[in-house]
């Protein structure tokens, strides 16, 4: 039996997420801003949570329907088969959000959906009161342009929280975005991968996870592990599959360097927790002093910018100096993410490709320099 699922992601990562879903063998149905709807069997729940690198969460899409009034919202929610997932003793809180829709009051929508689900389960189980002491099924709604999507969260803690990074880091980049940046930079076994502004080494870690085919969620738990419909066997099989596919003989090498000692301490801890010590070298070095060492290489970095660290003028001066120094790296490919729209002018070179992405809610640009810079 197949089910419909919705995976969420940061804006700009929909295409990459879709390709990941394809790679798992599931059928993509539709792509909406920040969401990819797909179809799969029950095993898709553990496999997609364990494997998807750029997804924020994976939901069971219980149903979707037009909802221009509260009556529409209630009736649509009532006619969905909640009893297929939620038992009469289970907990089922409701939360959600509304975008560009007539129904914009979140508390009112929460109340309506909750009442509809209670009514549905009451009619199905023949009870009038629910203790809600059992397994938690977090119901979420998205009302987008007057269309309601009602879902059950299967992830729990957001998927970008892999478990390897310290909880408190200075202006971190999400692991999911870091994975996308690494993928777009096309890491290779015989090419050095270097982040000279490494912070907690999130980008090199995600690149190493990709190159060793290590599933990002292999070491963490998920809320749906307690769902009765899935069972322990499906989770066990998914984890065994992930472990069996790890590429243990990868020769991939990454450098994670920074000038901040606290950042390097966090980086070393994160690399160790991620199990990537064999592939990532963490050390102190000024980004404006890196050298090719006679090797082929790719730089992927998230340098400080005004909104995040320091002042805007300091960031702009850094970009100018980066452009001047990175020229000395010859044919190395350079990938830089920043929120500064005039980065190319400051850097002194037009990017071969620019992609708009989001670091949380901050709009950013991923400047990609992959063609040889030939001056005429």
Residues 302-355 have pLDDT tens digits of: 998 755 556 888 899 999 999 999 999 999 999 999 999 999 999 999 999 999
Strand bridging mode 280-284 / 192-195: unpaired
Which is higher by pLDDT, 328 or 372?
Answer: 328
Show Cβ contacts of residue 102 under 8 Å, excluding neighbours closer than 6 positions.
68, 69, 146
Interval 156-199: pLDDT, tens: 999 999 999 876 555 579 999 999 999 999 999 999 999 999 99
Q: How many residues does the chain have?
A: 376
Average model confidence (pLDDT) for the chain? 95
In b/e form, how buried is each residue of 232-263, taking b as 16+ CB within 10 angstroms? eebbeebbeebeeeeeeebebbbbbbbeeeeb
pLDDT of residue 183: 98
Contact of 171 with 305, CB cutoff 8 Å: no
> 313: which strand partners?
none
Strands 254-258 and 280-284: parallel
How much is the CA Rg of the chain, to the nearest whole Å? 23
């Amino acid at each position: 039996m197949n089910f419909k699922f919705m995976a969420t992601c940061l804006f700009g990562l929909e295409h990459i997420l879709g390709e990941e879903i394809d790679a798992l063998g599931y059928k993509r149905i539709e792509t909406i801003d920040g969401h990819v709807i797909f179809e799969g069997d029950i095993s898709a729940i553990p496999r997609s949570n364990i494997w998807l690198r750029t997804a924020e969460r994976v939901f069971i899409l219980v149903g979707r329907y037009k909802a221009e009034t509260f009556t529409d919202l209630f009736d649509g929610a009532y006619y969905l088969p909640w009893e297929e997932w939620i038992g009469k003793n289970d907990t089922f809180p409701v939360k959600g959000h509304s975008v560009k829709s007539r129904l914009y009051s979140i508390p009112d929508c929460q109340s309506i959906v909750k009442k509809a689900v209670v009514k549905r389960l009451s009619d199905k189980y023949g009870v009038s009161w629910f203790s809600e002491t059992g397994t938690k099924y977090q119901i979420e709604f998205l009302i987008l342009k007057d269309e309601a999507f009602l879902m059950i969260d299967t992830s729990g803690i957001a998927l970008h929280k892999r478990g390897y990074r310290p909880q408190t880091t200075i202006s971190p980049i999400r692991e999911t975005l870091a994975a996308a940046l690494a993928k777009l930079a096309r890491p290779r076994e015989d090419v050095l991968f270097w982040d000279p502004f490494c912070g907690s080494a999130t980008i090199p870690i995600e690149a190493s996870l990709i190159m060793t085919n290590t599933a990002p969620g292999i070491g963490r738990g998920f809320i749906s592990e307690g769902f009765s419909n899935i069972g322990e066997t499906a989770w066990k099989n998914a984890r065994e599959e992930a472990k069996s596919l790890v590429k243990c003989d990868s020769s991939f090498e990454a450098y994670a360097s920074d000038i901040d000692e606290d950042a390097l301490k966090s980086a070393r801890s994160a690399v160790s927790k991620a199990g990537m010590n064999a592939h990532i070298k963490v050390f102190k070095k000024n980004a404006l002093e890196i050298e090719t060492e006679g090797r082929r290489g790719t730089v992927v970095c998230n340098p400080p910018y005004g909104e995040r660290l320091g002042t805007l003028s300091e960031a702009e001066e850094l970009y100018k100096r980066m452009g001047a120094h990175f020229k000395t790296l010859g044919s190395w490919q350079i990938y830089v993410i920043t929120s500064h729209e005039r980065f190319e002018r400051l850097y002194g070179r037009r990017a071969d490709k620019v992609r708009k992405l989001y670091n949380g809610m901050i709009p950013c640009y991923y400047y990609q320099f992959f063609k040889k810079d030939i001056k005429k």
